[in-house]
Amino acid sequence: MLLLSIAGFCQLPFAWWWYPVLILSPDISMVGYAIDSRVGAILYNLAHHKGIAIIVYLAGALGNHAVMELAGVILFGHSSMDRMMGYGLKYFEGFPFTHLGKIGKEAFPDSGIPGK
């Protein structure tokens, strides 16, 4: 799916360097965790849901708005990349609790390896 987003990007009228510059931009949604885990999870999930990415892209395609298409492609690509690395949509309990299981130190509390 990450490759699909790259292929989709190649159909848009933007210079190639926009993709690597923007691919991590959906992570700004983690700022919601500064408020609390519920707000953080809601904002994070909005920016990392593939369904929302597809809707944004289609709205841009139907309305002939290349920037909206770009936003949809970036959201989709970023979400796909996150799923590849084991990061899922968040539960309200906190950042480490995802629909794919726990991540980070909470997932491997006795390993002695930071982040594992």
Query: Which pTM was predicted?
Result: 0.85
Q: Quick one: 32 exposed, middle or buried, by C-beta within 10 A (0-12, 13-18, 19+)?
A: buried
Note whether residue 57 is domain-resident.
yes
Residue 78 lies in a domain: yes
Give the model confidence (pLDDT) of 85-107 as tens digits: 989 899 998 888 888 888 876 66
Look at residue 116 and tell me if it is in a domain: no
**How open is the CA angle 1-31-36, to the nearest 5 degrees?**
115
Query: How does pLDDT run across 23-66, given as a tens digit for each residue?
Result: 999 999 999 999 999 999 999 999 999 999 999 999 999 999 99
Q: Tell me which residue range forms the domain holding 14.
A: 2-89
Domain assignment present for residue 105? The answer is: no
Q: Judge whether 22 lies within some domain.
A: yes
In a domain, 31, yes or no: yes
Tally of domains within the chain: 1
Across the strands, what pairs with 98?
90, 101
